[in-house]
Structure 1
Amino acid sequence: MPTWLEITLRTFMAVAVLFIITRILGKRQVSQLSLFEYITGISIGNLAAYLSLDTDSEWYIGIVALVVWVSISYGIEVLQLKSKRARDFLDGTSTILMRNGKILEDNLREERITSDELLEMLRKKNVFNVAQVDFAILDTSGELNVLLKKEYQPLTPSDINLPVPPEKYNMAVIMDGKIMEDSLKKVGLNRDWLNSKLRQLGVSMDKIYFAQVDSQNKLYIDPYDDSLKRH
């Protein structure tokens, strides 16, 4: 078999295996990966490259290595789901960096975070005045979560005993020009309602690329033609 053809087949195989692995291990953002998951991701990527390009070795050797890595990773994920102690050991625990408005210097040193880095992390949370912070905790993902002092928190309807109706989440009802029948049913609407709304707006169905219904049954549309008015 020509080398170029073998590499092509190996690459397709590597992509297929990586897709299956991703489906098995689930969805995680990079910022949500634990240290072990991060190492596993790098190792699996390297093994996939090896499977794709190392024509001197048998292809099944790379598959075996991938299966072993995935089995270990999956086993550890199952263990973490069942054991809090295992989660704490593998992922670590959250660290409190500020409590009652006071910076905990020892915890900063433990996490090797400087004062400048703490201020930068606070600014990313739109907090520019340290005096406004009541509590700040560094999660295992590396993200800082901040609780402002009561007097600096945004006012909510419950603070002034204002009743609010139950909120429904927005639902896409047209996507890529196709009506999402299931989405319409979930919000208690139907195709007739949608056609009626579009007639009121003076737009035909075939002109719409995307449409979304909000909690008040207000329809937002995005036509294929960008020169047309959005509603």
Structure 2
Amino acid sequence: MPDWLLIGARSLLFVGVLFVITKLIGKKQISELSFFEYVAGITIGSIAGEIIMGLDNHWASGILSIMIFGLVTLFADILSLKSKSFRDFFEGKGTVFIKDGKILEDNLKKERYSIDDLSSLLRQQKVFKAADVEFAVLEPRGDLSIMLKKENQPLTPKDLNLNLPQEKEPQTVIMDGKILNDPLSVSGKTRKWLNMEVEKLGLTLDNVFLGQIDSYGELTVDVYDDTINVPAPQQRPLLLAMIKKCAADMEIFSLQTDSKKAQQMYEKNAEKLNQVLQKLSPYLK
């Protein structure tokens, strides 16, 4: 068999072998690597490359070596889930770089990090002053986790005692001009409703590249032709405006009537509508 054909056959074989080993080890192997996983990954790749190009080597030996490294990595991951001490040894422990707003120089030297390295890691977290950080730790995977000082943390709705609606995963109901039945069913909508909404936007299904239904039941679309200006959903803003108008009308009616009883009725209902507005505003804005 010609060398080029032999190399091609071995390449295809080891692509399959490496795929199986990677699936066996799991997604962790291709995301964030521990020291051992890093070494095992390099070794597995080197073995595969050597067997593919080494025309005198046996295929079975290469596959056996890859299987051994893959299984050792898998067993090490399983043991790390069961034993905290083994996990600390296998994956390492975090190192504190900043504590109580102060940089720990000894820990930087221990991990062989310079102040420039620390500054670079902070900038990746969009922090440009070490003095703004209350606590920072270098994770075993090499990422820097930080906690800003209280006065530098961004405000959240909880800090302002604001109640916001719970967001749910949007459902992709149209893709490449085709309706996806399962997501449409999960969203609680029908094909008839979807076709009507697309028609309201002045489009046809063939024009829609992507269509999604959000947690409010509104359809948003992206079209193939970027020159087409697709209007944003208006149901919620229109409902909010309608309730505000009704509340304002009630207040005007209470001022215009000469009947004390009617005035009290209008004021009472205006107050109820304002209470409804207060509760629904976070959901309708």
Give the AA of the match of 2:151: E
Matches within 5 A, 1:177-188: 177-188=177-188
Counterparts of 1:176 and 1:78, CA distance in 2: 42
Report deviation, 1:186: 3.0
Counterpart for residue 173 of structure 2: 173
The CA deviation at 1:210 is: 2.0
Percent of pairs with identical residues = 45
* Distance change (3 Å), C-alpha of 1:73 and 1:95: same
Aligned residue type for 1:76: A
3-state SS in 2 of match to 1:66:
helix
For 2:195 and 2:69, locate their aligned partners in 1 and report how far apart those are by CA, in whole Å. 52
What is the CA deviation profile of residues 53-107 of structure 1, one whole-angstrom value per residue up to 9, with x for unaligned ones?
2221221111111111111111111111111111100111011111111111111
What 5-or-longer segments of structure 1 have no aligned partner?
Answer: none
**Partner SS for 1:98:** strand
Q: Secondary structure at the match of 1:160?
A: coil
> What's the offset of the Cα at 1:27?
1.4
Runs of 5+ consecutive residues of structure 2 not aligned to the other structure: 232-285
1:83 aligned residue: 83
Largest Rg, 1 or 2: 2
**Equivalent residues of 1:97, 1:137 under 8 A apart:** yes
Instruction: Report 1 or 2 for greater relative contact order, CA contacts < 8 Å, sequence distance ≥ 6.
Output: 1
Q: How does 1:32-51 map to 2 (within 5 A)?
A: 32-51=32-51
Does the CA contact (< 8 Å) of 1:31 and 1:141 recur in 2?
A: no
Cα RMSD after superposing both structures: 1.9
CA distance change for structure 1 residues 139 and 7 in 2, over 3 Å: closer, same or farther?
same
Higher mean C-alpha displacement, 190-199 vs 92-101: 190-199
User: Which letter does structure 2 place at the counterpart of 1:2?
Assistant: P
Instruction: Output the TM-score relative to the length of structure 1.
Output: 0.91
- In the alignment, is the contact (CA less than 8 A) between 1:134 and 1:149 conserved in 2? yes
- Could you report, residue by residue, the CA deviation over 1:109-136 in whole angstroms, capped at 9, with x for unpaired residues? 1111111211121111111122221111
- TM-score calculated relative to the size of structure 2: 0.75
SS of structure 2 residue aligned to 1:196: helix
1:133 matched to 2:133? The reply is: yes
Distance 1:178 1:80, change over 3 A: farther
Which amino acid in the other structure matches residue 215 of structure 1?
S
Amino acid at match of 1:18: L
Deviation at 1:29, TM superposition (A): 7.3
Which protein has the bigger helix share? Answer: 2
What is aligned with 1:148? 148
Query: Secondary structure at 1:211's aligned position in 2?
Result: strand
Q: Distance in 2 between matches of 1:40 and 1:22?
A: 11
